[in-house]
Structure 1
């Protein structure tokens, strides 16, 4: 029921009011006495959040309703209000027909596999504990959550007051980024700032292809950098002053180098570039690998030696502030980096570059395909890791084959220090997936 980022899928098929109602019931039955609820801008979120709240209160627990707010705002509010759990009704970067439910612990971290499975088990078994007629839970509306988020950002990061920043909100709910930068004195120009869950300005996922208009705007103005968010603002990607979309691996390296020092570790998923490990080695720090998914990265940051965690897809976790991927916090931190060190383009160009190839193969049999790849690689390669999917290390580089946690896709990544080697590794991985699909 739960993937790497909660429940997610098409509304009316995978995600229904019945499901939201039962998840609410399960949370209350599982012992969450107070639950913070928020949602992104999708119209379907109205119906789903109402069903969710009905389920929570029907089983005797109370709700703090935030309405439409970014995912990191909701997670921070769970901690600030002393709640037992939080739920965001969102499909994050997925297309408009999708929606979902992502659950947060009292510490503001995504539910782990064990707790997700506990909730899923209660839903499957319909093992709910309903409240008596005079013990139904209450609903309290809170309207200042975003203000508290903005204050926390300004307290956490010393922002420059002389930057020009383009902020592409992607018709999502990440306005707190533009507001915080503007309040600090930055010259902020917004793009796709009208909140609209149909995402008419661009697709929600902040990729280079989807953010071409923002890149052009940055390149043709005097902007020092561009910031782009997804629909619920847990992700943040960037554009340098030349209008170039900055890769997630480069951003991860820049953040890691800023946050880590000797003896520190940075949590990264198994599909992360060698670049990050090399940059950390320069400051006597190191990476620690996790399965792909911000929940796994966040869990690793519970270790006191892990000072930062991130994913190349745009999720950045600063555990000293919050263990929820916080796109606005990442945006403000990057603005501080540019203010302190100068040109973002120069910072990126100074990083070593390694050829890396990524692609996704659509299949309804993703688990069977990956299982077959595992069987093949166990006999054909020597250095194979199954931490998340199948990662194969060779003398020239590595490749990874894994099933997406949220979509019917098998993802392929290959990296080496030379282009020909990266291409060869990618073709090897692609061939393995093709062979496995034929057998699936």
Structure 2
């Protein structure tokens, strides 16, 4: 039922009001008595949120509805409103046909494997603890979650210079970023600022290919930096002052270097570039690798010497602030970095990068294919990490073969310090998957 980032799928097929009702009942049955709920801008979210809230109330839980907000705004509100859990109806960067459900703890960390397993078991066995007629929970609306989040951003960031920033909201729930940057003294221009769950301005996932308008506007103006979010603003990516998309691994390395100091660690998943590891090594810090998924990065970030966690997907976690990926916080931190250290293009150029190759292979049964892949890799290579898929370290490079958490795909990633070596590793890795699929 749960993937790497909660429950997601096509509305009316995978994600239905019936499912939302069941999840709400399960969360209430599991003993979460006060639950903060909210949603992103997708119209299907209204129906799903009503069903989820009904399930919670049926099992005696009180529901605090903070409305349509960014996922990090809702996740942060769980602790602020002294709730036991939070639920966001969102499909994040997925297309408008999709929606989903993500569960949060008061620390800002998404529900981990044990909590998810508990909810799944209750739903599968329909072992709901329904309240008596006079024990139903209440549903109340609560304003102020965004203001609380903005205040946290202002307290965490200090921008001395008034920078020109372009924020591409992507028709999603991330308007808080433009508001917070304006309050920090920046001159902000927004693109695709009208909330619309059909995402008419561009696809919800912000990539170099989907951010053509942002790149053009930044390049054609005096803007110092461009910011873009996905539909629920848990992700943040950037464009430098020349209008060039900043590679996500480079952005991860920049954030990691700024947060780290001698003897500390940074958490990032198994598909993270060597560039991050080398950048941290230069300042006496180290990289600790996790499974793919912000919940696993957040879990590692609870360890005392881990000062930052990030994923190349665009999810950034500063544990001293919150354990949820906070796109608006990342945007404010990046603007602060540019104001303090100079042009983003120069900062990016200071990160030594290496050729990295990525693709996905369609497979019929990804579980069976990965079993064959794992067997082949363990027989053929010495340095293998099977924490999440199989990652092979060959000294001058590495490759990762990993099943998608939401689609019938096996993802192939390879990186080396030389172009030709990266190509060889990539073809070698892809052949392992295609042979196993056949």
**TM-score band, normalised by shorter chain:** over 0.9
Matched, 1:358 2:358: yes
- Provide the residue aligned with 2:332 in structure 1: 332
- Kept after mapping to 1: 8 A contact 2:361/2:434: no
- Provide the residue aligned with 1:44 in structure 2: 44
Distance in 2 of aligned mates of 1:371 and 1:171? 41
What do residues 352-397 of structure 1 show as CA deviations (whole Å, max 9, x unaligned)? Answer: 1111111122334222222211111111111111010010111331
**Unmatched 5+ stretches in structure 2:** none
Number of residue equivalences: 438
**Unmatched 5+ stretches in structure 1:** none
- Provide the residue aligned with 1:388 in structure 2: 388
- Provide the residue aligned with 2:426 in structure 1: 426
Moved over 6 A (4+): none
Distance in 2 of aligned mates of 1:167 and 1:224? 11
Distance in 2 of aligned mates of 1:160 and 1:16? 48
- Provide the residue aligned with 1:204 in structure 2: 204
Alignment of 1:99-178 (within 5 A): 99-178=99-178
- Kept after mapping to 1: 8 A contact 2:364/2:408: yes
In the TM superposition, residue 161 of structure 1 has moved relative to its aligned partner by 4.0
Matched, 1:316 2:308: no
Distance in 2 of aligned mates of 1:16 and 1:265? 41
- Provide the residue aligned with 2:75 in structure 1: 75
- Kept after mapping to 2: 8 A contact 1:87/1:104: yes
- Provide the residue aligned with 1:349 in structure 2: 349
- Provide the residue aligned with 1:367 in structure 2: 367
Distance in 2 of aligned mates of 1:324 and 1:335? 20
Alignment of 1:228-239 (within 5 A): 228-239=228-239
Distance in 1 of aligned mates of 2:208 and 2:172? 17
- Provide the residue aligned with 1:290 in structure 2: 290
Distance in 1 of aligned mates of 2:302 and 2:219? 40
- Kept after mapping to 2: 8 A contact 1:161/1:184: no
- Kept after mapping to 1: 8 A contact 2:275/2:353: yes
- Kept after mapping to 1: 8 A contact 2:59/2:137: yes
The Cα RMSD (Å) is 0.8
Distance in 2 of aligned mates of 1:362 and 1:213? 31
In the TM superposition, residue 159 of structure 1 has moved relative to its aligned partner by 2.0
- Kept after mapping to 2: 8 A contact 1:248/1:313: yes
Distance in 2 of aligned mates of 1:286 and 1:370? 30
Distance in 1 of aligned mates of 2:149 and 2:382? 48
Distance in 1 of aligned mates of 2:290 and 2:397? 19
